[in-house]
Chain A
Amino acid sequence: MVLVISAVVFVTMRLIPVDPAELVVGPYATADQRELARRSLGLDQPVLVQYGIYLQSALRGDLGRSIKSGKEVTLLIRDTLPNTLMLGGLALALAYLIAIPIGVVAAMRQNTALDQGAMAFALLGIAVPNFWLGLLLILVFSVSLRWLPATGSGGWQHLVLPTITLGLQYTAIVARMTRSSVLEVLRQDYIRALRAKGLVERQVVYVHALRNAVIPIISLLGLHMSGVVGGAVIVETVFAWPGMGRLLVNSIIGRDYPVVQGVLTLLGIAVLLANLLADALYTVADPRIKYSAQR
């Protein structure tokens, strides 16, 4: 818990220097913004005090107001957060649900055309940058074929392309990882011992081997849960998906610092939560860890 707090402090602290420095020094700043800045939260006070004030209001639910729109940051976040969660969650869920079986099958049919094809596909999935993939998908499905909408939200159709774009690289990574994990597990001594016991092959593979192979994948999931936040930023921008990522990028470009501050802090917390969740999951998955944690 201490880690959480200190990290949050860390994130926010680094944000504070932005405001005064950029607003006052930068030639980009307009007279309006300078006025606003001076009016809000007294920039002449030492940084720590500013931070203290900010923290206090934050705990009360007030994260400041957007310079551009004047809306409360909290409100903006509340409007966009669910969209990001939906996109990210769906992308990861689909990615893992598709990738794990692919990885297992590839491992079981090692070195066959199926395996090599799947792994080649996975390599491509990792190498292709997600923003390019998004553009290509739009090109094909929206511009040429006109099957799916390119931007915005509104129905399930709007969710399809962004989800694929965001999820593909994770599918690729997880498929590869699953395959190597399964292969690694099948090499273990206990697999041979299980066969010597006379268990059906199906049980050896789908109960024992799989259960063991899944462990490193769970730790990967933890990593991905925080990583998908970053991916969402780009994908939302490409598809104009109304999520926090797009809000963040637009705010940065538009120098809407209160929003940037609020969103980044929140994202930082989200990442930390994801890490904690990942650790918890890992403890559940591997009984050996639980043992050492009890000491």
Chain B
Amino acid sequence: MAEPSRPPLLDVRDLKTSLYTRRGVLPAVDRVSFALEPGETLALVGESGCGKTMTALSVIRLVPAPPGRIEHGRVLFRGDDLLARSPEEMRRIRGDRISMVFQEPMTSLDPVFTVGRQLIETVQAHRNVSHKEAWELSVGMLRKVRIPEPQRRMASYPHELSGGMRQRVMIGMALACSPDLLIADEPTTALDVTTQAQILELVKELREDLRMAVLLITHALGVVAEMADRVAVMYAGRIVEYAPVDTVFGNPRHPYTVGLLQSIPDLELTRERLSTIPGTVPSLLRPPPGCYFWPRCPLAGEICRDAQPPLAQVGQSHYAACWKAG
């Protein structure tokens, strides 16, 4: 842990989380490592089922316990291993130092309590303030997330708000205690395009304002381009490419990343067929011995089938897990 320069805000090392299902054990997060500097935004990208949400849940230790279990690894937050913390200590960190915003604003707020009540309880869970002070703080948060007539809105119920407004409330709640790290799991996927843009703008602004690091989970490359400083591409539970955002878009080295980028429809070319990556994600119940991407990879070779490539450096701050990427 003795680093010459200041340690990263979040340092995930060799994280392994498995799901114990009726049909077998699934390595949902398979030896994942990445780091986040204070104020930096890291995007975890990948298709559905690649393990990005599980990774996020593992960091904040909200993995659903009966089927899931964090087997291995270290999650160093400001040098402190979160996996070694007690449940009560974790509880105090959640919402205060690390906050998480989820994908579905429609169902992420308790429907039977007012927005104000839920905001106040967040504040009072972490700060020793009077009800009045908490109320003021909450109104302030609503104002910060650009909700019109914040005082009136305190008495609204979630179902009285639109999806975009609900997501703003969620963000407001998450940022109420000025956390160091915000984990955003597909924060805009469930919203329409216009609202998406607004929410992203809001997050960018607040991120600036609070000097907050963001771990952004998404499958939308457009969002990545707009928000992220660094990108970690995930496939079947592993990180296959890890680089600054410009590098990933400009010089992708892993065939999967290349494939992803190629499949973004180009609005200018009208006549070509949409490019896709052939095949499907493998079942992880019986993981293959070699590279998971091997069956679908255009560069596939003998070594790819037999041995799994480690995440190796292929450029400055640029890592890829591919035998053919060197």
A and B touch in the complex (CB under 8 A): yes
Assess whether A199 is interfacial by the CB under 8 Å rule: yes
In chain B, positions 156-182 with a C-beta closer than 8 Å to chain A are 157, 159-160, 170, 173-174
Chain B 86-101 residues near chain A, CB threshold 8 A: 91-96, 99-100
Please measure, in the bound complex, the distance between the C-alpha atom of A203 and the C-alpha atom of B60, giving whole angstroms.
19
- Min distance, Cβ B158 to any Cβ of chain A, angstroms: 9
Instruction: Report the nearest B residue to A286, measured CB to CB.
Output: B112
Q: What is the interface size of chain B, counting residues whose CB is below 8 A from a CB of the partner?
A: 29
Cβ contacts under 8 Å, A193 to chain B: 100, 102, 108-109, 170
- Return chain A residues, CB-CB under 8 Å to B110: 190, 194, 208, 211-212
> Given A288-B159, A291-B159 in contact, is the A198-B96 Cβ separation under 8 Å?
yes
Residues of B with C-beta under 8 A to A288 = 111, 157, 159
Chain A at the B interface: mostly helix, strand, loop or mixed? Answer: helix
Complex: A185 Cα to B94 Cα, angstroms: 21
Note all chain B residues with C-beta closer than 8 A to A215.
112
* Cross-chain contact B159 with A287 (CB below 8 angstroms): yes
Residues of chain A contacted by B173 (CB below 8 angstroms): 197
B125 near A: Cβ within 8 Å?
yes
User: How far, in angstroms, from A189 to B96 measured CA to CA in the complex?
Assistant: 20
Contacts of A203 in B (CB 8 A): 121, 125
- Cα distance A291–B100 when bound, in Å? 29
- B157 in complex: contacting residue of A192, A194, A195, A291, CB < 8 Å: A291
Known: A196-B95, A197-B95, A198-B96. A287 touches B62 (CB 8 A): no
Across the interface, do B112 and A211 meet the contact criterion of CB distance under 8 Å?
Answer: yes
CB of A6 within 8 Å of the partner chain: no
B104 proximal to A (CB < 8 A): yes
Contact bitstring A180-206, B, C-beta under 8 A = 1, else 0: 000000001110111111111101000
Contact B112 A188 (CB under 8 A): no
Per-residue interface assignment for chain B, residues 192 to 232, with 1 indicating a CB less than 8 Å from any chain A CB and 0 otherwise:
00000000000000000000000000000000000000000
Interface string of A191-235 (1 = CB under 8 A from B): 011111111110100001001100100000000000000000000
Bound CA span A212–B107, Å: 13
Most buried by A among B92, B110, B111: B110
Kindly provide the distance from the CB of B59 to the nearest chain A CB, expressed in whole angstroms: 11
Report the Cα distance A211→B111, complex, angstroms.
Answer: 10
Is B122 engaged at the interface, CB distance under 8 Å to the other chain?
yes
A200 touches B157 (CB 8 A): no
Q: Decide if A212 touches B99 in the complex (CB within 8 Å).
A: no
Q: Is there a chain A Cβ closer than 8 Å to B305's Cβ?
A: no
B111 touching A190 by the CB < 8 A rule? yes
**Quick one: closest B residue to A215, CB to CB?**
B112
- Are B159 and A196 in contact, CB atoms less than 8 angstroms apart? no
B112 and A200 contacting across the interface, CB-CB below 8 Å: no
Write out the residue numbers on chain A whose beta carbons fall within 8 Å of the beta carbon of B125.
197-200, 203
Residue pair A196, B112 in contact (C-beta under 8 Å): no
Cα-based distance from A193 to B95 in the complex (angstroms):
10
- The complex places the Cα of A196 from the Cα of B174 at a distance, in Å, of 9
Residues of A within 8 A of B159 (CB): 287-288, 291
Q: Chain A residues near B170 (CB, 8 Å)?
A: 193
- Chain B contact residues, majority secondary structure: mixed
A198 engages B93 (CB within 8 Å): yes
Task: Name which residue of chain B comes closest to A110, CB basis.
Answer: B66
Q: Mark B4-22, 1 if CB is under 8 A from A, else 0.
A: 0000000000000000000
A199 touches which of B95, B108, B112 (Cβ 8 Å): B95
**Cβ contacts under 8 Å, A199 to chain B:** 91, 95, 121-122, 125
Q: B94, A198: Cβ atoms under 8 Å?
A: yes
B107 near A190 with CB under 8 A, answer yes
Q: Which residue of A lies closest to B170 (CB)?
A: A193
Q: Specify which chain B residues have a CB less than 8 angstroms from the CB of A197 in the assembled complex.
A: 94-95, 99, 121-122, 125, 173-174
How near does chain A come to B232, taking the closest CB pair, in angstroms? 21
- A19–B94 Cα distance when bound, in Å, is 73
User: Which residue of chain B lies nearest to A195 when distances are taken between CB atoms in the complex?
Assistant: B62
> Are A198 and B92 interface neighbours, CB within 8 A?
yes
Residue in A188, A196, A208, A286 whose CB lies within 8 Å of B94: A196
A194 to B102 alpha-carbon distance, docked (Å): 11
Complex contacts, A212 vs chain B, CB 8 Å: 110-112
Q: B69 on the interface (CB 8 Å rule)?
A: no
Among A192, A286, A287, which residue has its beta carbon within 8 angstroms of that of B102? A192
> Which A residues are CB-close (under 8 A) to B157?
287-288, 291
Is there a chain A Cβ closer than 8 Å to B74's Cβ? no
How far is B159's CA from A192's CA once the two chains are assembled, in angstroms? 18
Complex-state Cα separation, A200 to B159, whole angstroms: 25
Instruction: Report chain B residues within 8 Å CB of A189.
Output: 102, 104, 107-108
Render A68-83 as a binary contact track against B, CB cut-off 8 A, 1 for contact.
0000000000000000
- Inside 8 A of B153's CB, which chain A residues have their CB? none
A-side contacts of B100, CB under 8 Å = 193, 196
Measured in the bound complex, the distance between the Cα atoms of B91 and A178 in whole Å is 27
Residue-wise interface mask of B (110-121) relative to A, using a CB-CB cutoff of 8 A (1 in contact, 0 not): 111100000001
Chain A residue with Cβ nearest B108: A193
Residues of B within 8 A of A195 (CB): 62, 91, 94
B146 at interface, CB cutoff 8 A: no
CB distance from B121 to the nearest CB of A (A): 7
A198 B126 Cβ-Cβ under 8 A: yes
* Highest count of chain B CB atoms <10 Å: which of A189, A208, A211: A189
The 7 closest A-B pairs by CB, nearest first: A198-B95, A198-B94, A189-B107, A197-B95, A196-B100, A193-B108, A190-B110
14 A-B residue pairs with CB within 8 Å: A190-B108, A193-B102, A195-B91, A196-B102, A197-B94, A197-B121, A197-B122, A197-B125, A197-B173, A199-B91, A201-B91, A208-B113, A211-B110, A287-B112
